Amino acid sequence: MDLKHLRPNRAQDAPIYLQLYRRYREAIAAGRLHPGDRVPSVRSLASDLSLSRGTVETAYQMLVSEGYFVTRGAAGTVVSPRLGRLGEPSQAPTPEPPAQSSPRPQAVAGKALPFQLGMPALDAFPRKTWARLAGRSVRTLDTAAMDYPDPAGYEPLRRAIATYLGISRGIACSHEQVFITPGYHGALDLVCRTLLKVGDLGWYEDPGYILARQYLERAGMRLAAVPVDEEGLSVAAGKQRAAAARFAVVTPTHQSPTGAALSLPRRLELLEWANDRHAWVIEDDYDSEFRYHGRPLPALKSLDRGGRVLYTGTFSKVLFPGLRLAYLVVDESLVDKFEETVHLLRGPGSILPQAMVAHFMEQGHFSRHLRKMRSLYAVRRGYLVDALTRTLGESLDVQRQAGGIHILAHLTTRQNDKALAESAKAEGLALDALSNWQINKASQRGLLMGFANFATADDAMASVHRLRTVLANP
Ligand SMILES: Cc1ncc(COP(=O)(O)O)c(C=O)c1O
């Protein structure tokens, strides 16, 4: 294909990676590129178009995760042979790995249970560095730090997060826009108190993260279940069922729990809806750091020109959940309103853990840790996928998602996933049933399994053997 069809226009407002992504989609739709055609490597296209490799990689990553491209290892990247005639993925792109979050952390004596959801690898956390930083943080906090802390959060941590989000998630924000919260619920709580009122209607992904759903319902929000498919939340269904909703809660990078990435057309449609309706979009970006093919997808917030996206991230997956630290990023125009709320709530708690995380980030331990965990999790995920495929390949269809720290496996038998999960729990296996996460009557049955704490292939195999016994004698 002639490169002139791909060349982005620097005068345009849209980011270059987006333009490139669109050019490829147009080329496929117009028949200039056909299913099976090989596309240039990231390196050569970047050099031919004088773009950075990161920009091309981001565009390719989106095309792969939405099913337009498939990577073939040494054979390069090709236009997906499964594409329909009009260039739309005929089948859903392979969903990505779901999230990890168990309704209650169940680690016993510092050890995660087999398949435990939402628990990062406890054995791989750099505890020595952490202990050193604890000492340093205590020593460097002066008497001023013994006063009531800033309820918006410890400033150096807010700055470190703003820098990190700029580099890693494409979000340009100042530290004043970042509010530290006690976990994701704390972020939701801030949003509810600042922008919503009891009885407000919101879209909620179905299936979706069960704990946040319970929180919002208890906070008096009415939730409209909006189905999720291979392109993430169906914005069209949301508009049809609850066009006048005041907010939508989404997990765009890695839908929780199915793992699908929200496709670009849907991202744009969602933002358009939010702008038109003056609705809020709560972006829950809980585990985007873990992707095993390519770079993480940019956040939805990076496309938000109208200031409608309230972005949340958490340290629960990238460090550990016991920290209870998360953050909310709001548009500049909302900072004063959120300041008022945090002054009433008195902030996220003690300064010390915040100072430790700030030091951890500033000194480069955070990015090192993420790099290390990405490769470790790719290996550990392989252990579980391998063990499941070899041992339970007949009864489970394991989804090969691109990221996250858990796996979704659809049941190919007619067994009831809730009953299976209950029996498994009774045997000390902490997996969960997909239908527990569904709002409307479950149409799919599957098992959600964490893999981060399988330290060896034998560990994974031993737990899968135990699961096989449960499946055979539910
Ligand atoms: C979908 C999703 N969002 C957010 C979170 C983060 O929650 P928290 O910060 O309260 O640990 C989790 C944790 O498991 C999750 O699964």
The full set of domain ranges for the chain reads 3-79, 127-366, 367-472
User: For residue 314, which atom of ligand 1 is closest to its CA?
Assistant: 9
pLDDT greater at residue 444 or residue 279: 279
How confident is the model over 230-235, as a mean pLDDT?
95
pLDDT greater at residue 271 or residue 41: 271
> Bridge-partner residues for 247, per DSSP?
202, 280
Distance of CA 397 from the midpoint of ligand 1 (Å): 25
Q: How high is the pLDDT of residue 86? A: 42
Which residues contact residue 458 at a Cβ distance below 8 angstroms, ignoring those fewer than 6 apart?
none
Q: Measuring CA to CA, how many Å separate 348 from each of 154, 285, 361, 388, 401? A: 9, 19, 18, 41, 33
Geometric angle at alpha carbon 105, from 128 and 131, rounded to 5°: 10
Q: How high is the pLDDT of residue 295? A: 67
Q: Measuring CA to CA, how many Å separate 415 from each of 335, 390, 424, 470? A: 50, 20, 13, 12
Indicate the range of 21-25, 203-207, 294-298 predicted with least confidence. Answer: 294-298
CATH topology for 127-366 is: Aspartate Aminotransferase; domain 2 (3.40.640)
DSSP strand pairing (432-433 vs 309-314): unpaired
Banded model confidence at residue 97, pLDDT cuts 50, 70, 90: very low
Give the global pTM: 0.80
Per the CB < 8 A criterion, the answer to whether 305 and 323 are in contact is: no
- Rounded (10°) CA dihedral 238, 20, 302, 407: 60
Distance of CA 97 from the midpoint of ligand 1 (Å): 15
Measured distance between the N- and C-terminal CA atoms of the chain, rounded to whole angstroms = 55
The greatest distance separating any two alpha carbons of the chain, rounded to the nearest whole angstrom, comes to: 68
Whether the CB of 377 sits within 6 Å of ligand 1: no
CATH 3.40.190.170 fits domain 367-472 = no
Distance of CA 408 from the midpoint of ligand 1 (Å): 17
The tokens of 37 are what?
A: 């055609």
Banded model confidence at residue 296, pLDDT cuts 50, 70, 90: low
How far apart, in whole angstroms, are the C-alpha atoms of residue 387 and residue 460?
7
How far apart, in whole angstroms, are the C-alpha atoms of residue 62 and residue 253?
10
Does the pLDDT at position 5 exceed 70?
Answer: yes
How far apart, in whole angstroms, are the C-alpha atoms of residue 293 and residue 5?
26
Which numeric CATH code is attached to 3-79? 1.10.10.10
Banded model confidence at residue 184, pLDDT cuts 50, 70, 90: very high
Q: How high is the pLDDT of residue 19? A: 84
The tokens of 312 are what?
A: 């949340």
Q: How high is the pLDDT of residue 203? A: 98
Kindly report the average pLDDT of the chain as a whole number: 89
H/E segment holding residue 321: none
How far apart, in whole angstroms, are the C-alpha atoms of residue 24 and residue 60?
9
How far apart, in whole angstroms, are the C-alpha atoms of residue 158 and residue 172?
13
Quote the distance between the C-alpha of residue 407 and its chain's center: 13
Q: How high is the pLDDT of residue 320? A: 96
Does the pLDDT at position 389 exceed 90?
Answer: yes
How far apart, in whole angstroms, are the C-alpha atoms of residue 25 and residue 14?
15
The tokens of 243 are what?
A: 């066009």
How confident is the model over 103-121, as a mean pLDDT?
74
Sign of CA dihedral 229, 230, 233, 238: negative
Which residues contact residue 471 at a Cβ distance below 8 angstroms, ignoring those fewer than 6 apart?
392, 395, 413, 415, 420
Banded model confidence at residue 103, pLDDT cuts 50, 70, 90: very low
Whether the CB of 401 sits within 6 Å of ligand 1: no
How far apart, in whole angstroms, are the C-alpha atoms of residue 351 and residue 358?
10
The tokens of 379 are what?
A: 């290996």
Q: How high is the pLDDT of residue 101? A: 40
Per the CB < 8 A criterion, the answer to whether 64 and 77 are in contact is: yes
Per the CB < 8 A criterion, the answer to whether 262 and 252 are in contact is: yes
How far apart, in whole angstroms, are the C-alpha atoms of residue 327 and residue 152?
10
Residue pLDDT, tens place only, 19-75: 888 888 878 877 788 888 899 998 899 989 989 888 888 888 777 766 678 887 777
Banded model confidence at residue 255, pLDDT cuts 50, 70, 90: very high
Enumerate the H helices of 97-244 as residue ranges.
Answer: 127-140, 155-168, 183-195, 210-218, 235-242
How far apart, in whole angstroms, are the C-alpha atoms of residue 43 and residue 33?
19
The tokens of 122 are what?
A: 């406890």
Q: How high is the pLDDT of residue 196? A: 97
Whether the CB of 299 sits within 6 Å of ligand 1: no
Distance of CA 260 from the midpoint of ligand 1 (Å): 17
Mutate to test the pocket of ligand 1, among 106, 256, 310, 437 (most ligand atoms within 8 A of CB): 256
Nearest alpha carbon, ligand 1 atom 15: 101
Helix axis angle, 457-472 to 365-392, nearest 10°: 40
Nearest alpha carbon, ligand 1 atom 3: 286
Whether the CB of 286 sits within 6 Å of ligand 1: yes
Residue pLDDT, tens place only, 394-412: 999 998 777 889 999 999 9
Whether the CB of 326 sits within 6 Å of ligand 1: yes
How confident is the model over 136-147, as a mean pLDDT?
86
Q: What is the DSSP letter of 304?
A: -
Mutate to test the pocket of ligand 1, among 106, 206, 290, 314 (most ligand atoms within 8 A of CB): 314
How far apart, in whole angstroms, are the C-alpha atoms of residue 21 and residue 25?
6
Banded model confidence at residue 210, pLDDT cuts 50, 70, 90: very high
Nearest alpha carbon, ligand 1 atom 7: 184
Banded model confidence at residue 17, pLDDT cuts 50, 70, 90: confident
Does the pLDDT at position 94 exceed 50?
Answer: no
Can the peptide bond before residue 40 be classed as cis, meaning omega within 30 degrees of 0? no
Mutate to test the pocket of ligand 1, among 181, 184, 401 (most ligand atoms within 8 A of CB): 184
Whether the CB of 98 sits within 6 Å of ligand 1: no
The tokens of 222 are what?
A: 């009415």
Does the pLDDT at position 153 exceed 60?
Answer: yes
Whether the CB of 288 sits within 6 Å of ligand 1: no
Residue pLDDT, tens place only, 364-386: 999 999 999 999 999 999 999 99
Does the pLDDT at position 104 exceed 70?
Answer: no
How far apart, in whole angstroms, are the C-alpha atoms of residue 380 and residue 393?
18
Instruction: Report the 3 state secondary structure along 224-256.
Output: EEEEEECCEECHHHHHHHHCCCCEEEECCCCCC
